[in-house]
């Protein structure tokens, strides 16, 4: 992958914080293989999720993603100290890493806009 902003299929990198500094940090750390700390996931994902939901960025995918985030929260509340969000997503979809390409992210001013995977 070339340098830039990447997300997994559901846009978890964007959901992590919706800020240049945080997303850029995770990108440099090697998305999508990074394992996120569970407190970071629970706090930052859901804060950013509300931001996306209020602005209707996800349109007809809102309910689908909300169900997946609820499942993720239950997993994290259980026994796991961290979770690989890419692997979590692949397990739900029954696909492997090689089956997918990174979603394109455009940066417009200070907002990150999710594009669908081709």
**Residue-wise pLDDT tens for the chain (118 aa)?**
333 333 334 444 444 433 334 444 444 444 443 444 555 555 555 665 666 677 776 677 677 666 666 666 665 555 555 555 555 555 555 544 343 333 322 332 222 333 333 2
Helix locations, the chain, DSSP H: 12-17, 20-28, 38-40, 46-54, 62-77, 85-93
Q: Is the pTM of this model over 0.75?
A: no
Contact 93, 62 (CB under 8 A): no
Q: Which residue in 95, 113, 91 sits closest to 103, CA to CA?
A: 113
7: three-class secondary structure by DSSP:
strand
User: What ranges do the domains of the chain cover?
Assistant: 6-114
């Amino acid at each position: 992958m070339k340098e830039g902003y990447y997300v997994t299929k559901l846009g978890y990198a964007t959901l992590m914080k919706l800020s240049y500094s945080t997303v850029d940090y995770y990108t440099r750390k090697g998305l999508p293989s990074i394992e996120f700390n569970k407190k970071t996931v629970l706090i930052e994902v859901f804060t950013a999720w509300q931001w996306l939901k209020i602005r209707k960025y996800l349109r007809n995918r809102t309910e689908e993603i909300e169900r997946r985030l609820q499942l993720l929260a239950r997993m994290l509340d259980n026994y796991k100290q961290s979770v690989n969000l890419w692997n979590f997503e692949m397990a739900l979809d029954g696909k492997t890493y090689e089956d997918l390409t990174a979603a394109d992210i455009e940066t417009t001013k200070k907002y990150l806009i999710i594009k669908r995977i081709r």
